[in-house]
Amino acid sequence: MKILVPVKRVIDYNVKPRVKADGTGVDLANVKMSMNPFDEIAVEEAIRIKEAGKAEEIVAVSVGPAKAQETLRTALAMGADRAILVETDEEVEPLAVAKILKAIADEEQPGLVVLGKQSISDDSNQTGQMLAALMNRPQGTFANTVEIDGDAVVVKREIDGGLETVKLTMPAIVTTDLRLNEPRYASLPNIMKAKKKPLDTKTPADFGVDITARLTTTNVAEPPVRQAGEKVEDVDALVAKIKELGIA
């Protein structure tokens, strides 16, 4: 079985994003970028499935600018076998990404596609579900545990109120939640080896996918700022305040 792992280059999760003064977006100039944290978990899970002897090859894919190569090299250094960069400087929406991924999946015929549940930039939480719909394959979203069981995959999912287990006929699409695993760090020798692993570059046009945006962002603003309130001296003062609020 082959596993396809889409990864996205996003602003590093430790960086506090700044909204541009003209309201056109978030300032990404000279900001540290990294692999989307949920995608690291996806790469890690794919590697663990391969290490367990349930998969032969891991193909990492990214849709984005030339610099997304760095993100793919990170995936290769973690343990992916080869990579495909679908290069474009446009901002590509989840629907178009899903269409590109479907075209790649049609060529590669993976048994599993493992994606992060959402990107921490646009917070959409759509691509995996959309890909599953386009491929007419089952989806195991917000995965907490993934087990391959013959030609099916059993996914324990994080849902509101607890956990739910579903069994999906492969090929299937899985999206990762935070607690699925702890991603490994790429070691220096592996980073060096990753430089020699194959990385194909394509364009959205190679797959015949129209990436014209369906949504227009007309403004990006700072959220309303909360004013810091007052600090109270001691517990008694705090209790008095709580009583004023009328909740006790």
> End-to-end CA distance of the chain, in Å?
59
Q: Is 134 in the site for another protein (CB under 8 A)?
A: yes
Determine if 31 is a binding residue for another protein (CB under 8 A): no
Phi, psi of 129 (to 5 degrees): -65, -40
Q: Per CB under 8 A, does 168 bind another protein?
A: yes
Run of H or E residues at 115: strand 112-116
The yes or no reply on residue 125 touching another protein (CB under 8 A) is: yes
Are 39 and 114 contacting, i.e. CB atoms less than 8 angstroms apart? no
Fill in the per-residue mask, 225 to 244: x = in contact with another protein (CB under 8 A), - = not in contact: -x-xxxxx-xxxxxx-xxx-
We find the least distance from the C-beta atom of residue 86 to another protein, in angstroms, to be 18
Task: Single out the residue of 161, 188, 189, 208 in contact with another protein (rule: CB under 8 A).
Answer: 161
Total residue length of the chain: 248
Buried b (16+ CB within 10 A) or exposed e, 122-134: beebbbbbbbbeb
At its nearest, how many Å lie between another protein and the CB of residue 26? 6
Total site size for another protein, rule CB under 8 A: 77
**Binding status of residue 132 toward another protein by CB under 8 A:** yes
The amino acid that residue 189 corresponds to is P
* Interface region with another protein, contact rule CB under 8 A, candidates 54-62, 77-85, 155-163, 188-196: 155-163
Question: Taking the complex as a whole, how short is the minimal distance between the CB of residue 3 and another protein, in angstroms?
Answer: 18
Residue 201 makes contact with another protein by CB under 8 A: no
CA pair distance 129, 141, nearest whole angstrom: 8
Q: Which pair of structure tokens corresponds to residue 156?
A: 């324990």
Nearer to another protein, 188 or 235 (CB): 235
Angle between helix 68-78 and 37-51 (nearest 10): 30
Q: Which of 19, 69, 82, 207 binds another protein (CB under 8 A)?
A: 19
Evaluate whether 47 touches 78 at the Cβ level (below 8 Å): yes
Q: Does 3 bind another protein (CB under 8 A)?
A: no
| Residues 81-110 contacting another protein, CB under 8 A | 93-95, 98
In which region does residue 53 sit, left (phi positive, over 0), alpha (psi from -120 to 50) or beta (all else)? left
Pick the piece of the chain touching another protein (CB under 8 A) from 15-23, 39-47, 53-61, 67-75. 15-23
Q: What crossing angle do the helices spanning 127-135 and 94-108 adopt, rounded to 10°? A: 50
Smaller CB separation from another protein, 134 or 191: 134
Name the residue nearer to another protein (CB basis): 6 or 138: 138
